[in-house]
Amino acid sequence: MSDLISVTDLRVDLGSATILRGIDLTVGEGEVVALLGANGSGKSTLMRALLGLVPISGGDASLFGISVRNQRRQVPWPRIGYVPQRASVGSGIPATALEVVLTGLLHDRRWHVPRGGRTRALDALASVDLADRAHSPLHQLSGGQQQRVAIARALVRAPELLLLDEPMAGVDRPTQATFARLLTTLQSEGTTVGIVLHELGPIRPLIQRCVVLRHGVVAHDGGAPAPAPGHGAADHEHVHLDHGRHEPTDVREAVTPRSLP
Amino acid sequence: MSLLDSLISVVSSPMLQRSLIAALVVGLAAPVIGTYLVQRRLSLLGDGVGHVALTGVAMGWLVGSWTGAEPNDAYAVLGAVIAAVIGAILIEVVRSRGRTSGDVALALLFYGGIAGGVVIISLAGGTNANLTAYLFGSLATITTGDLVMTVIMAAVIMAVGIGLRTALFAVSQDEEFARSTGLPVQVLNILIAVVAALTVTVSMRVVGLLLVSALMIVPVAIAQLVTSSFRRTMFTAMGGGAAVCVIGLVITFFHRLAPGATIVVLAICVYAVIAAVRPLLGAGRGRAADPHPDMDDDVNVSKAGAQE
Ligand SMILES: Nc1ncnc2c1ncn2[C@@H]1O[C@H](COP(=O)(O)OP(=O)(O)O)[C@@H](O)[C@H]1O
Ligand SMILES: [Mg+2]
């Protein structure tokens, strides 16, 4: 089995701070891996480092066996889809959902929308239940709908490796259910998925493996942490305990045995 | 003399024909790159580049006076192109670094551009009056050679701006995502900067360096009032830009007004009128459909409770 993602002793410094250090991680073909951790623990930075969007200061990260650090140009970008954390709300110029999704068809060697690209983009929008909003300007869509446009923009690439950064943050339950269905389909088609989450929620059954970051190092790599009794997912616990931000309503957490080291 | 007679005399005058063609192609080309600049929130880049281009004009003049070129501003446009391209690339580098000091760096570039231009033109034995044509436009004195140059540059701007539309849109709309697709974002950013610099120098003839940015931005501002897609915004802005340039210029054939300023004032009036009447026009559109997505509620609302 070949590794689609391979990270060895990765270190990332931003400004004067070391954000990630000593990260070792491999993700094999067809795996669905959740990346969990408190706010600011470095989840987004890890994903961005993998994609070569932030400079790597030590170690290495490879995609499809090719170093992102040293051979960025050789990385097979068309096989990779990325959904950034914040759905970017357009600027002054109105742009339609379809126009945004069409940009997902481009890569290092392709600067134009290919033949049949429009149909593919409309299909991608349909797969996130937005077929009827293709011609709506982005700024008229709700946050959840904009998030789904960003997912469609990654899906239109028909990626073998899909990286999603908190795709379910702030979306309503029906959108979460749609997303869980979509992920099931992708998994059955053999797509490798890396997904940053705050809680596993409706996609818990799909997740075979969880990687938990804490203060920029890997704190756990293995099965899904068991949910704490009477509370959401166990990763939730880390969010509060790691940073000592106990909310008064969550006192229970302090006495709940932690399921993770 | 009737209006028709005067129109005929306009159309049969080669000088006025040249200025009309120049106004038309510049009016078409300037909003193309303006659309990307508005998208990138770089509406003022044109102004910055325009200021720097003035130093280029003066440099060209200086070289002309050293080499005894005839006329002595033979290298002025070349100088403007070179300075504008360098200025635009510098601004892009500062922008992409995202440094907080970038704001100050840009300000230095702007003021340095104007002051440098004035100092160098006096070194070259010229006066500020020599710069006026570049600052406020000089459509009336456009030669056939100038016109050919203008048409070629406008064609290049439109070929790049329209031909690479999806890629340039991608880097302007979401740079982070564009980088993750493997697109050479830095190359595309520099391309936008360079084409913006060309647009500034080609528009210099029509409205002058001080108003160049208006020609790039105001038609886009008008277009986005009435459109809902990037593509249509660009093409509407091109049409609007060409229309205000030609109409503004024709007005100056009948009234003694400065063409460049007239064009810009006309464009701003169009913007004001459309912005004012838009709520009336849009009132009937899209009201029938419920804008809310058809979704189940996230919370259980008791029907009985709601009715009490
Ligand atoms: N560009 C940056 N420069 C400096 N620090 C940054 C930058 N981006 C993120 N950080 C810091 O890195 C840490 C991890 O951020 P991030 O990866 O976004 O966390 P997460 O996605 O897990 O919430 C945070 O403390 C954040 O403040
Ligand atoms: Mg994050």
Q: Is the C-beta atom of A42 inside 6 A of ligand 1?
A: yes
- Residue A249 pLDDT more than 80? no
Q: Which ligand is nearest to the CA of A46?
A: 1
| Predicted local confidence at residue A230, as pLDDT | 45
Query: Which residues, 6 or more positions from A259, have their beta carbon under 8 angstroms from its beta carbon?
Result: A225, A226, A228, A234, A237
| Predicted local confidence at residue B304, as pLDDT | 46
**What are A41-81's pLDDT values in tens digits?**
999 999 999 999 999 999 999 999 999 999 989 999 999 99
Contact B296 A173 (CB under 8 A): yes
Nearest CA to ligand 1 atom 27: A40
Nearest CA to ligand 1 atom 17: A42
What value does the mean pLDDT of chain A take?
84
| Predicted local confidence at residue A21, as pLDDT | 94
**What are B258-306's pLDDT values in tens digits?**
999 999 999 999 999 999 998 887 644 444 455 555 555 555 555 444 4
**What are A80-124's pLDDT values in tens digits?**
999 999 755 556 788 999 999 999 999 999 999 999 999 999 999
CA of residue A85 to ligand 2 center, whole Å: 6
Q: Is the C-beta atom of A17 inside 6 A of ligand 1?
A: yes
Q: Is the C-beta atom of A44 inside 6 A of ligand 1?
A: yes
**What are A119-138's pLDDT values in tens digits?**
999 999 999 999 999 999 99
Q: Is the C-beta atom of A238 inside 6 A of ligand 1?
A: no
Average confidence (pLDDT) over B241-257 = 93
- Does residue B101 or residue A4 have the better pLDDT? A4
DSSP B239-276: HHHHHHHHHHHHHHHHS---HHHHHHHHHHHHHHHHHH
Average confidence (pLDDT) over B126-149 = 86
Are residues A215 and A221 in contact, defined by beta-carbon separation less than 8 angstroms?
A: no
Tokens representing A127?
């797969």
CA of residue A231 to ligand 2 center, whole Å: 22
Contact A103 B170 (CB under 8 A): yes
- Give the minimum alpha-carbon distance from B107 to chain A in angstroms, rounded to a whole number: 23
- d(C-alpha B131, C-alpha B91), whole Å: 24
Nearest to B233 among A51, A94, A106 (CB): A94
CA of residue A40 to ligand 1 center, whole Å: 6
Assess A66–B contact: CB distance below 8 Å, yes or no.
no
- Residue A183 pLDDT more than 80? yes
Nearest CA to ligand 1 atom 16: A42
Contact B229 A142 (CB under 8 A): no
How much of chain A, in percent, has pLDDT values that exceed 70? Answer: 84
Q: Is the C-beta atom of A235 inside 6 A of ligand 1?
A: no
- Residue A260 pLDDT more than 60? no
**A-chain residue closest to B171, CA distance:** A103
- Give the minimum alpha-carbon distance from B206 to chain A in angstroms, rounded to a whole number: 26
Average confidence (pLDDT) over B134-146 = 87
What value does the mean pLDDT of chain B take?
86
Question: ipTM score of the complex?
Answer: 0.85
CA of residue A150 to ligand 1 center, whole Å: 21
How much of chain B, in percent, has pLDDT values that exceed 90? Answer: 54
- Residue A252 pLDDT more than 50? no
- d(C-alpha A153, C-alpha A97), whole Å: 9
Assess B228–A contact: CB distance below 8 Å, yes or no.
yes
Q: Which ligand 1 atom minimizes the distance to the CA of A165?
A: 21
| Predicted local confidence at residue B64, as pLDDT | 87
Contact B167 A111 (CB under 8 A): yes
CB neighbourhood size of A73 (10 A): 10
CA A259 to chain centre: 24
Average confidence (pLDDT) over B46-63 = 91
Contact A96 B41 (CB under 8 A): no
- d(C-alpha B29, C-alpha B241), whole Å: 8
A58-63 and A66-67 as β-strands: parallel, antiparallel, unpaired? antiparallel
Q: What angle do CA B129, B261, B120 make, to 5 degrees?
A: 30
Contact B229 A174 (CB under 8 A): no
Contact A95 B184 (CB under 8 A): no
CA of residue A17 to ligand 1 center, whole Å: 9
Q: Is the peptide bond before A174 cis (omega within 30 degrees of 0)?
A: no
